[in-house]
Amino acid sequence: MKSSHAWVFGDNLGSFLAAGAGPTDGHPALLSSYCAELSSLLGLLYIIYRIFRYYDLHNHNVTIFCDNNSAIRNIFSHPMPGITPFLKPDYDLLETVQYLPSMIPLAVAGQWVKGHNNGKQREFQHDLNDKTDALAMAYQQQQQAPFHTRRLPYAPPNYSVRLLHNNTVITSKLYPTLVASLHDPKLVIHILKKDKVNTCRLPESPLGGP
């Protein structure tokens, strides 16, 4: 599965300042639109962090617009205690995006914007959102074949927990991935051989299965 993301900067005068697009990293079988949205927000926040660190700017405000309400809500909300946050989809990206605003010396706010809004209440943030969608789509269509998203463990400096599967960080569809892995025939054979267990002598399950 191919996936791409994009970002666009604008000012309060309604001008486009900068834009970019690129691939969405992750396991090809588990990529989603939510993952792409988080990648866009990660790119925006990281660029903001670098700009303000390089120019030593202060006393400014930044508003990030996104048409994915879940992404905005998860980024700008306080993480829940315990293991619950680690079970959220694409937590590897979410954790990093949540961490970046604390490193930026200015007020960063997130705001949901309705996607593909062609109504009477259309504003500049809708233009930003449409331009972002168009850039992401154009990048995906112009990728040189063959293209595969990067399947490498992603571990930012502030990481706490990582689940690796097939040399790739897994933060989506955890339960089915774990079940499929634990019942993989190769793994079962390896465990049986290691423990020198004869499959013919395995006790039957009360439910009638092996």
Encode the chain (210 residues) as per-residue pLDDT tens digits. 578 899 999 998 899 999 999 888 777 777 788 888 999 999 999 898 888 888 877 778 899 999 999 899 888 877 777 777 777 778 778 888 888 888 888 888 899 998 888 877 888 999 999 999 999 999 888 865 665 656 555 555 565 666 777 777 666 677 777 788 888 888 888 888 887 766 555 444 443 444
Domain covering 4-165 assigned CATH 3.30.420 in the classification: yes
pLDDT of residue 117: 82
CA dist., res. 73 & res. 96, Å (int)? 15
In sequence order, what are the beta bridge partners of 112? 66
For residues 23 and 147, the answer to whether their CB atoms sit within 8 Å is: yes
pLDDT of residue 7: 94
pLDDT of residue 178: 79
Parallel, antiparallel, or unpaired: how do β-strands 16-23 and 164-165 relate?
A: unpaired
How distant, in Å, are the alpha carbons of 12, 30, 92, 167, 184 from that of 89? 33, 10, 9, 18, 23
Amino acid at 194: K
CA dist., res. 67 & res. 114, Å (int)? 5
For residues 23 and 4, the answer to whether their CB atoms sit within 8 Å is: yes
In sequence order, what are the beta bridge partners of 10? 16
How distant, in Å, are the alpha carbons of 101, 111, 139, 170 from that of 125? 20, 10, 21, 33
List of long-range contacts for 38-41, beta carbons under 8 Å, 24+ apart: 38/71, 38/75, 38/90, 38/93, 38/94, 38/97, 39/5, 39/93, 40/5, 40/6, 40/7, 40/66, 40/132, 40/136, 41/7, 41/66, 41/71, 41/75, 41/97
| In the chain, domain spans | 4-165
